[in-house]
Structure 1
Amino acid sequence: MSERWGALGWLSAGDGYEVALLEGRVVARSTSGRAAGRQLKSLPKQVREHPEAERLRRLAEWLDRHAAACLAQADTWMVSSLPVPTGLVAAVWPDEAWQSVLRDLVVVGDDPEEAGFLRDVTASGELRVVNLDGETVRLSPRTVTLPHPVLLPDLDELREFAAELGIVQRVEQIHRATWARPAEPADRVAEVTEFSGGGFASRFGLAARATTLGYRVSGGYVTCAVRDGGGVTEASVWIGEPYWDGETETGGLTWQGREGRRLSEREIGPVAWSEGMRMAAALYAGRTVEEGRDA
């Protein structure tokens, strides 16, 4: 889609001016006099109020929303490790917004042991992937998975290889902070207190931080729902009574399954465990830290 809009080029915006959408903002240039063809540093009032300039502003806003939606959807696919039809990936690949979030993500096709960085997709749905041997391989699976990093056995090698290639991912995948579930999970109800006791000046401030980080505030809890192992698990951190706006602090981290039943360590999948810990750590990181020798 972005390529199509880029083809609009310069549009007439009244006598002596043209406007265009460049790098996400509306710019103008003169079409007459000694400055003809020269891009202006700012939009003259008559150009700013012209219908073509307004149309381009609305287009820029739509493109920003579209890019954010693509990023959010790809992040959802990755966190949930959902299989995505390869035909769908091929269909959206020509769109610059989609391509920018999908390119260089680690993908897995039919062979779960063959992970690599997605570099290109043909119109016929063939994936071109660079594996850890540095070879470009062609894959044509029916579906492709964007694995959560906690599920990647070669995560350290993928990180090193990405650094060698200069790969920067739009979706936080291989450099996403991860936490491993206890090696010998217990049957008791799981509650992690490692990130409890983080003090905040107000509950409102803590709730605002949670929302900014992309988490949901429900009642007295900050929550995140994760599809893991075929089911949905919700991780939650207590932040205080909803109508209390005095000082508060982060509480314990727990996980719930269907109908709100709290889960034991053994019942929590690796992705749900990691994402719950990531949420709790992110909330705790914003706590008020006392200064001074005795802090």
Structure 2
Amino acid sequence: MGWLSAGDGYEVALVEGRVAARATAGRAAGRQLKSLPKAVREHPEVDRLRRLAEWLDRHAAACVTQVDTWMVSSLPVPTGLLARVWPDEAWQSALRDLVVVGEDPQEPGFLRDATDGGELRLVNLDGETVRLSPATVTLPHPVLLPDLEDLREFAAELGVTQRVEQIHRATWLRPEGLAEKATEVREFAGGSYDSRFALAARATALGYRVSGGYASCRVRDAGRGVEASVWIGEPYWDGDTETGALSWSDENGRTLRAVEVGPVAWSEGMRMAAALHAGRTVEEGRTA
């Protein structure tokens, strides 16, 4: 976006997400000022740019949320859709360098470009640029990536930074030997909070849904919807509380046995439970 006139002697523009001003006359002509002069702070163009900046921030956050949803649930995404949104800087920032898989699940690569013709350009583990144009691709959840450690090492070599947490996302594998009838996990139960409000606020800040006495997250695992839930206390309780057990349910609300829970739902449920437990109150003098 270019510079816009904002009254006598000044122009304004969005620079790195904030409104900036520069003088158009005098010794400082053409130079960007360190702060907005008082004379232009209430100018209509400045107000318009501020509202545009707020919209761009919301748009960027929405792009990240959508891409995270695709990744967490390993949903097939039309290649043509990625090509259409790629010119948008917010979409490109959310998508760039995510691991993408086409028709061959054994050939992942880091997404580097998408052309107008619907072709994706990836860098594979051999360091080669490959071109893909299948009808759909997936952005796999890391627990489903067989070469996860290799991808992490290669990403470090390339200096890859992912806007959407994928290859460095904390993952948990469902352990062997679970009791056949077990329906909950208590590994991260017992995390103390001074109030139920504080625990609910942490869950909300982390992006989890709070409803009734539970914090929850929904994913699609192997084509079915699954909701992972952690008990956080009665909604109107104003005393101290603790994180409770983690459990899973299907789209019909049926509680799943632990052995029925798929790898993505298990990992995301454990990730949520661990994050809530990590925010607990730790007594002074005791180890965290």
Shorter-chain-normalised TM-score: which range?
over 0.9
Which residue of 78, 82, 85 corresponds with 2:78? 85
Q: Distance in 2 between matches of 1:23 and 1:287?
A: 36
Bigger mean CA offset, 172-181 vs 120-129: 120-129
Amino acid at match of 1:245: D
Amino acid at match of 2:104: D
CA-CA distance at 1:293 after TM superposition: 6.1
Q: Distance in 1 between matches of 2:57 and 2:48?
A: 14
Amino acid at match of 1:87: G
1:9 corresponding residue in structure 2: 2
Q: Distance in 1 between matches of 2:26 and 2:51?
A: 30
SS of corresponding position for 1:289: coil
Which residue of 65, 77, 80 corresponds with 1:72? 65
Q: Distance in 2 between matches of 1:272 and 1:65?
A: 28
Which residue of 161, 169, 174 corresponds with 1:176? 169
1:193 corresponding residue in structure 2: 186
SS of corresponding position for 1:124: coil
CA-CA distance at 1:185 after TM superposition: 5.0
How far does the alpha carbon of each residue in 1:110-165 deviate from its partner, in whole angstroms, 9 at most, with x for none? 11111111111111011111111111111111101000000000000000000011
Which residue of 110, 113, 137 corresponds with 2:106? 113
1:155 aligns with 2:145: no
Normalised to the residue count of structure 1, the TM-score between the two structures is 0.95
SS of corresponding position for 1:49: coil
1:4 corresponding residue in structure 2: none
Q: Distance in 1 between matches of 2:287 and 2:174?
A: 34
1:261 aligns with 2:254: yes
1:281 corresponding residue in structure 2: 274
1:33 corresponding residue in structure 2: 26
Bigger mean CA offset, 129-138 vs 38-47: 38-47
2:265 corresponding residue in structure 1: 272
How far does the alpha carbon of each residue in 1:42-95 deviate from its partner, in whole angstroms, 9 at most, with x for none? 112221111111111111111101100000000000001000000000000011
Structure 1 residues 256 and 157: CA distance shift in structure 2, 3 A: same
CA-CA distance at 1:294 after TM superposition: 9.0
1:21 aligns with 2:14: yes
1:203 corresponding residue in structure 2: 196
Structure 1 residues 293 and 100: CA distance shift in structure 2, 3 A: closer
Normalised to the residue count of structure 2, the TM-score between the two structures is 0.97
SS of corresponding position for 2:252: helix
SS of corresponding position for 2:39: helix
- 1:239-258 equivalence runs, <5 A: 239-258=232-251
CA-CA distance at 1:231 after TM superposition: 0.9
CA-CA distance at 1:14 after TM superposition: 0.4
CA-CA distance at 1:184 after TM superposition: 4.7
Which residue of 127, 132, 143 corresponds with 1:139? 132
Q: Distance in 1 between matches of 2:135 and 2:19?
A: 41
Q: Distance in 2 between matches of 1:62 and 1:99?
A: 17
2:227 corresponding residue in structure 1: 234
Contact 1:17–1:28 under 8 Å retained in 2: yes
CA-CA distance at 1:259 after TM superposition: 2.6
SS of corresponding position for 1:46: coil
Structure 1 unaligned regions, length at least 5: 1-7
Percent identity between matched residues is 78
CA-CA distance at 1:257 after TM superposition: 1.1
Contact 1:189–1:262 under 8 Å retained in 2: no
CA-CA distance at 1:182 after TM superposition: 2.0
Bigger mean CA offset, 44-53 vs 90-99: 44-53
Q: Distance in 1 between matches of 2:48 and 2:3?
A: 13
Which residue of 91, 94, 97 corresponds with 1:101? 94
Structure 1 consecutive aligned stretches of length 4 or more whose deviation exceeds 6 Å: none
Q: Distance in 2 between matches of 1:226 and 1:294?
A: 34
